[in-house]
Amino acid sequence: KARVRVDIVGGVGRVALARPEKGNALDQESAHELVDALMEFEGDDIVRAVLLSADGDVFCDGVDVEALAALLDAPIETDTRAAADVGHVFLTIRGMTKPVVAAVQGRALGLGCGLATACDVVLARDDAQFGYPEVRLGLVPAMVMNMLRRSVGEKHAFDLVASGRVIDAAEAERIGLVSRVLATNGFKDEVERYVLGLAAHPTASMGLTKRLFYRLDLLSFRDGIAEGVKTSAEARQTEDFRTGVLRFAKPDKQGE
C-alpha cells in the first residue's frame, strides 16, 4: 500500500501522508515515496506550488517506531542509510524551485515536526501540536535541528529539543515555527486559497525568490547583497517581469 497520495489540481501538486492508522509515521519507504512525488512535481510545468498534507487527525507522529525496532541490531551503515533517506526529503524540499506549503492538523512530532519545518510555509490548524520528543527515547533530533535553529533561533530551539516538550499552535506561531495559525472551521478552504494564490504567481520570480532566500544562509552580508544584485538583474530579464511591468505601468497597451 502506498504511503502517500499524489494529485495535481489547480496548478498545485498535492502529496498527502496516507497512513493515518499509524499516525502517518515516517519510514524509509515513506521517504522514498515523498522524494519521488516532490521530484515529479518539480519537473512538471503544470505544477506551480506544492501542498504537503496528511490524512486523518494527525499530521505526523514522527519516525515509525516499529521500523526503528526492526533495526535495533543493524550495523551503523544501515542506520546511516535510513537517516540519509529521510534527510534526502528535507534536501529535496529546499532544493525545489517551487514553494512547498505544509498544512498541519493535530500532532506534528519529531520527524513530523521537522518535515513541516522543512517546508517553505507552515499553515497550522489551531488544534495543531508541535514538538521534538526524541531525547526522551534516547534519540537525537539530529537532522531536524538544522531547520529548527534557522526558524526559531538558538534559545527556543534548544529548549524544544532538550526538554522534549510539546507546544500548541499559538506558541509555535509566536516563536516562528509556523507561518500562520488558521481556525479549524474553514481550515481546508483557507489552505486552498493560500496555495492557489501561490500557484497564481509567475514561476520565474517565485523560483528565483526561493533560490536566493535559502542561498543567503551560506553568505556574508556583503555577499548576500551581491547575490541579490545578480538575482534582481536575472529576474528583470524574464518574460514574466516584462509582462508584469507592462500590465501595471501601461495597462492600456497590453498586447502591443
Q: What pLDDT digit, counting tens, does each position of 11-29 carry? A: 999 999 999 999 999 999 9
Burial class (CB in 10 A: 0-12, 13-18, 19+), 200: exposed
Give the pLDDT confidence score for residue 254 in this predicted structure: 47
Q: What pLDDT sits at residue 80?
A: 87
Contact at 8 Å (CB) between 195 and 210? Answer: no
Residue 63: pLDDT band by 50, 70, 90 thresholds?
confident
The reported pLDDT for the residue numbered 215 is: 85
Active site residue 134: yes
> For a pLDDT cut of 70, what percent of the chain falls above it?
97
Exactly one of 33, 134, 154, 239 is catalytic; name it: 134
**Whole-angstrom Cα distance, residue 242 to residue 40?**
29
pTM, 2 dp: 0.89
Tell me the per-residue pLDDT of 97-154, one tens digit each, with 9 for 90 and over.
Answer: 999 999 999 999 999 999 999 999 999 999 999 999 999 888 888 889 989 999 999 9
Q: How many whole angstroms separate alpha carbon 167 and alpha carbon 153?
A: 16
At residue 256, the pLDDT reads 46
Of residues 219 and 89, more confidently modeled: 89
pLDDT for the residue 95: 94
Question: What's residue 252's pLDDT?
Answer: 57
More confident residue, 125 or 245: 125
Band (248; pLDDT cuts 50, 70, 90): confident
The pLDDT of residue 131: 96
Residue 118: what pLDDT? 95
Helix runs in 25-105, H state only: 28-42, 65-70, 76-95
pLDDT given at position 68: 76
Best CA proximity match to 255, nearest among 245, 243, 239, 238: 243
Q: Rounded to whole angstroms, how far apart are CA atoms 183 and 60?
A: 19
Grid coordinates of 7: 494529485
Residue 253 has pLDDT above 70, yes or no: no
Q: Is the four-CA dihedral 137, 140, 144, 150 of positive or negative sign?
A: positive
CA distances from 87 to 9, 10, 32, 143, 165 (A): 28, 29, 11, 7, 23
Task: Tell me the pLDDT band of 219, cut-offs 50, 70 and 90.
Answer: confident
C-alpha cell at 169: 499552535
Q: Which of 54-58, 125-129, 133-137, 215-219 has the lowest mean pLDDT?
A: 215-219
Percent of the chain topping pLDDT 90: 64
